[in-house]
Amino acid sequence: MNNYKHYLQSDHWKKFRKFYFARKKPKGCQFCRFRDPLQLHHITYERLGHERLEDVVAICDSCHEEVHDLHNSGKSKNLRAATESVRLKYKLKKKPKPKSPLIRTSKGKARKRAYNEASDKRMQMDDDFVNAVLRNL
């Protein structure tokens, strides 16, 4: 989507981004709570150029990719549905990642994988402890 890439360079979008982060002050990925450089994902492109705050969500690189992978796979009805199902997955604390045929190598993903594995271990020991850790992220 070339226009979209263009759009992300626009002054409007940069302003909106600033506004969003100033307003919402996300303290980590809105899905998995992982602290990572956050990206603003469009839940819908319907109002591109005049977004509302609820049209986007700040998520980490890994969750972002997951949403678009799901969307591109055609298994979800639309982008909003794909976004919702990834959001729900983390909300219900299911297994954090679907197995992927790709070996994820980027730094953020490696960090997140380590984090998830550590959480899994802790989860077996003590749910409350993990919840406390997640709250403090």
Residue ranges in contact with Zn ion by CB under 5 A: 29, 31-32, 34, 41, 59-60, 63
**Sign of torsion over alpha carbons 72, 100, 98, 57:** negative
Cβ 123 to Zn ion, closest distance in Å? Answer: 17
Q: Which is nearer to Zn ion, 20 or 34 (CB)?
A: 34
Which one, 108 or 122, has the nearer CB to Zn ion?
108
Contacts 24+ apart (CB under 8 A), 129-136: 134/33
Q: What is the DSSP string of 72-94?
A: HHT-SSSHHHHHHHHHHHHHTT-
Q: How much helix, strand and coil, in percent to the nearest 5, is found in the chain?
A: 55, 5, 35
Which CB atom, from 29 or from 70, has the smaller least distance to Zn ion?
29
Count other C-beta atoms under 10 Å from residue 64's C-beta. 21
Nearest distance from residue 29's CB to Zn ion, in Å? 3
The two tokens of residue 70 are 């799901």
| Nearest distance, CB of residue 89 and Zn ion, angstroms | 11
Cβ distance to Zn ion smaller for residue 68 or 122: 68
Q: How far is the CB of 40 from Zn ion (least distance, A)?
A: 8
